[in-house]
Amino acid sequence: MARIFVTGSADGLGLMAAKKLVSQGHQVVLHARNEKRAVDAMHALQGAEKVLIADLSDIGETKRLADEVNSLGHFDAVIQNAGLYQVSNLELSKDGFPLLIAVNVLAPYLLTSLIHQPERLIYLSSGMHMQGDPTMRGLNQGKPKISYSDSKLYDLILAKAVARKWPGVYSNAVDPGWVPTKMGGPGAPDNLEKGFETQAWLAVSNDEKVKVSGRYFHHQKEDHYLKNADDTAAQEALLAFCEKATGVAFPNKG
């Protein structure tokens, strides 16, 4: 039995992945951004161990969440599932960052850096990362401004940076596809089950295909991705931005 923490698991793909893992006999801790969603999540998955509450757009709350996860003991895997989609760059977090940056980029960086190192890390990316800007100009201008595609590219770059710096950890990114969730919309054409099964598979399977790191998966198969994500200079630039924004340095050794 494995123990897994899943961010953004009050509904959507995160909750579906959590349900699959619990049905397989694994121990799962959920995450919700507020108390109401936490109650709904526990009703939806009564087999979950616990639900933790934190607004991932808030750097302070995200740091507190990492502390709470650590207080629960060791986790075998962390699925970085939480994310925003159609949000304006004019919508700012408490810390003054566009919400897309705060939730999709800074939160997974913080949780990776601060949660005691698991054996496996899974980051939710998207096929839309192919349209992301690998130069990171949007992050480094006076008023940061990025697209959803940019943020999903940065999640892939983060997964690859972790794989390079922590060779003892399986760190991979997943494209769940365009599936009919609240985020994807009812007209999304991809298979819903295939949208969540890959992250659950990567979190717990003993299949040799998952015992890899720095890869990009779609529907349980390695898929093509923007090769700029392999650039170590890009990886270091992203880590430097996140460190400056959050005040937390990435731990190079586990």
- Flag whether 170 is in a domain: yes
- Rounded to whole angstroms, the Cα distance separating 104 from 82 reads 7
Identify the band that residue 53 occupies on the pLDDT scale cut at 50, 70 and 90.
very high
* Total tally of structural domains belonging to the chain: 1
- C-alpha dist (Å) from residue 26 to 6, 108, 208: 12, 23, 19
Ordered strands of the 216-218 beta sheet: 50-53, 27-32, 3-6, 77-80, 120-124, 170-175, 216-218, 221-222
- Flag whether 252 is in a domain: no
- C-alpha dist (Å) from residue 246 to 95, 107, 129: 9, 9, 23
Mean pLDDT computed over every residue of the chain: 93
Q: Is 148 a catalytic residue?
A: yes
Distant-in-sequence, close-in-space partners of 235: CB < 8 Å, separation ≥ 6: 157, 158, 160, 161, 164, 229
- Choice among 123, 152, 154, 170 that is catalytic: 152
Q: Is 152 a catalytic residue?
A: yes
| Percentage above 70 pLDDT, the chain | 93
As a whole number, mean pLDDT of residues 86-99 equals: 95
Residue 190 belongs to what domain range?
A: 3-246
Question: Does residue 69 surpass a pLDDT of 90?
Answer: yes
How high is the pLDDT of residue 179?
Answer: 47
Q: What is the pLDDT of residues 101-130, one digit of tens each?
A: 999 999 999 999 999 999 999 999 999 999
- Flag whether 115 is in a domain: yes
Using left for φ > 0, alpha for ψ between -120 and 50, and beta otherwise, residue 87 falls in beta
pTM (whole model) above 0.85: yes
- Choice among 109, 148, 216, 225 that is catalytic: 148
- Rounded to whole angstroms, the Cα distance separating 199 from 175 reads 9
- Flag whether 254 is in a domain: no
Residue 222 sits in a domain whose CATH number is 3.40.50.720
- Flag whether 56 is in a domain: yes
- C-alpha dist (Å) from residue 23 to 7, 103, 139: 18, 29, 40
Question: Does residue 180 surpass a pLDDT of 90?
Answer: no
| Percentage above 90 pLDDT, the chain | 89
Q: What is the pLDDT of residues 197-217, one digit of tens each?
A: 999 999 999 999 999 999 999
